[in-house]
Chains A and B, each alone.
Chain A
Amino acid sequence: MNDMRLIQRTVDMHETKIRASGVDVFYGDNHAIKDVSVYIEDKTVTAFIGPSGCGKSTFLRCLNRMNDTIPICRVTGKITLDDEDIYDPKVDPVQLRAKVGMVFQKPNPFPKSIYDNVAYGPRIHGLAGDKSELDEIVEKSLRRAALWGEVKDRLAEPGTGLSGGQQQRLCIARAVATAPEVLLMDEPCSALDPIATAQVEELIDELKQNYSVVIVTHSMQQAARVSQKTAFFHLGNLVEYGETGKIFTNPEDSRTESYITGRIG
């Protein structure tokens, strides 16, 4: 319970980066997200918590229009990024996803070398002027994802040959290398040991200086450690949203309280 002391930290005011209002998501007839409104601040870590199947991943995928790739998925409502409607027909989802990066719940490295995996985004978006610049981006991203030490001698080996936890960090490095403004992370530490978890949390803290980070997690401690805002989802509803400290010490809704105490206490 030591982490609970973190509630005492000061909370700065930040601009709103993403604002969702009245969002509903349907998978066919399955109403997965019900009238969710939430704002996500810039230079802030926001945690999504909730029981399995409550729609955390689904909502996260709405924020960079990854749900477009699921034919049966239908999203209604309004989501803006920097006050621009991301579901507007004028918006190019490809450009949106370059700005709003994503680390998936299941590690999905490409069947390419470790180097090419990380260099994938920078190459596509032309972020590196030459080879040495690209090398630099790759090394920096792998370092930030706490993977550099383990793979620096085997960058040419396939990324799919890494262990599950290493693959997860590779995917984090891959997402970071593209330099997104918002990073959506779906359970990025689910397969990591405590040391790697601490390193990834350090990375999240560091990213917060410049970017906005949204993290889905099943670990209450992690949510309490890294986030400033927390959203609790239950059966597709956003039950409660607010300062992390307040949610964890003094939740307004009884469902929030029983979930948190059930898990931590």
Chain B
Amino acid sequence: MTLTWLVLAVLALAAVGYVMGRSRAMASAGGEIRALHSLPRYYGWNVALTVLTPAFGLMALWLLIQPVFIDARISSQLPDAAVSETTTRSLVMSDVRRVAEGLGQIGASKPESDPDEEYLSDLKSRLGGAGVALASDIDPAVYLAAERYRAGTAIGASLMWVAVLAVAVGGFAVSYLLTNKDFRARNTVERGILLVLIAAASIAILTTLGIILSMLFETRHFFADHPWQDFFLGTVWSPDFRGDSQLAILPLLWGTLYISLIALLVAVPIGLFAAIYLSEYATPRVRALAKPAIEVLAGIPTIVYGLFALITIGPMLRDYFAQPLGLGDSSSSVMTAGLVMGIMLIPFVSSLSDDIINAVPQSLRDGSYGLGATQSETIRQVIIPAALPGIVGAILLAASRAIGETMIVVLGAGAAAAQFDRGIGELVNPFEAMTTVTVKIVSQLTGDTDFASPETLVAFALGLTLFVITLGLNVLALWIVRRYREQYE
């Protein structure tokens, strides 16, 4: 709540700054706009931005750093005795944070004397009543740490108020005093906007970096506990939370690639042909109806596709293909998931390709028709080659989606990893149940587990590998596109 007030206060100050900066500039020019270097609103914006940018920048930094700082301090003050053998310091610290948060919620005030057992068990039930459930009794050391944590947070918040307001007022004062008719407010605002844009771009890049780093970090933990040979070269996926798991990525990767391949085999031809029909043959009226109709497919949530796979496509494939052909009798299969995923991807391929084909200039079509080429000759020999880089991009985008898809696989292909030891016949049988990397990431992380055993940490290794694969796919796409550009432009 106090944070909201602080934000509002800074915003209000900026608004006041806008009005005052503007009128000061006007006054300095004697009310004559042409005597000003910039339009009056730029002077207003200059003051407002000088109030906002440093104040909000400081606030963001503060909010990022303060918890880390307090955490480190409290953690170092925590006596070793409070960390019993069954837990770790970071787990105790998470208890401390929860107690501190709970104390804030129930508004408990600090008791006069040191807390005794009775007080602590009473506190535990009060915290439970407020929704903060604790597994064990509250250790006195934890309680003290929590109190300190609370106090530190409160002091930090007050300090932040003071600092942010000081920066805001300071910015106000400086920019207000600088405002006069010769001040180049327009250029300053321009630079301010540039800064804001750069900040936005950096946030996007830093977030990506942060995601990669955190994955890398957890993956390192995993490989410290589990041999990498087993992960990359092993052929068996059988996690066992009592230890001695075999965690090989190969069976999962095989499932991912196989299902994605079938999905692309469905989506690419259908999507591409649909795009060619829509952009080259369809009359404007048909196009106006058909294009949105196809794009509706893109708006269906994947879980609904999953249900479709589970109750319609799966049983149908089993009854009409798998069982008559003697290829298996499970309704969860690679084919089911691949087919349904392919349907999901059709609008991606078709709508992107359609835009790309439409962007091919009419003059190329005219040139081909003018030489006596038919429509399909023109499409095959002129339009598709001209649009190819874009189409390849669309296909790889669809591939990335297929590789990352989870819901359809769970409901369509099941959650059993491929088994390499059963022989190649079962591996390539499209009517066999199989699962993918993403599904296993979810299943390894669900449930009541701490992120310490190899069985859960493997999720990060899986995620990182998947990331590297999709990254490689994108690089490949860029490379293909560039090669074609060189050749054809």
Using CB atoms and an 8 Å cutoff, list the residues of chain A in contact with chain B.
64, 66, 69, 71, 94-99, 101-102, 104, 106, 108-112, 120-121, 124-125, 158, 160-161, 171, 174-175, 178
Contacts and interface: CB of A to CB of B under 8 A. Distances in A.
Contacts of A125: 372
Nearest to A116: B381
Given A66-B366, A111-B385, A124 B372 contact: yes
Contact of A66 (B370, B374, B381, B487): B370
Given A97-B371, A104-B367, A161-B489, 15 more contacts: A66-B369, A71-B284, A94-B374, A97-B369, A98-B371, A102-B370, A104-B363, A110-B386, A111-B386, A112-B382, A120-B381, A124-B373, A158-B488, A171-B367, A178-B372
B485 to A, nearest CB: 10
Contacts of B489: 111, 158, 160-161
Nearest to A105: B363
Contact of A110 (B284, B362, B364, B487): B364
Nearest to B370: A102
The bracket for how many chain B residues form the interface is 20 to 34
Contact of A94 (B373, B385, B487, B488): B373
A127 to B, nearest CB: 11
Interface in B22-75: none
A186 B86 CA distance: 88
A18 B282 CA distance: 33
Top-9 shortest CB links A-B: A98-B372, A111-B488, A102-B370, A108-B363, A108-B367, A121-B371, A97-B372, A111-B386, A94-B374
Contacts of B370: 64, 66, 97, 101-102, 104, 175
B244 interface: no
Contacts of B488: 111-112, 158, 160
B137 interface: no
Nearest to A123: B381
A121 B371 CA distance: 6
Interface of B: 284, 361-374, 377, 381-382, 385-386, 487-489
Contacts, number: 79
Contacts of A66: 366, 369-370
Nearest to B387: A111
A253 B192 CA distance: 67
Given A71-B284, A112-B488, A158-B488, A124 B369 contact: no
A71 B363 CA distance: 15
Nearest to B362: A69
B366 A69 contact: yes
Contacts of B386: 110-111
Nearest to A157: B487
A102 B367 CA distance: 8
Nearest to A99: B372
B377 A124 contact: yes
8 contacts: A97-B369, A97-B370, A97-B372, A101-B371, A101-B372, A112-B385, A158-B489, A175-B371
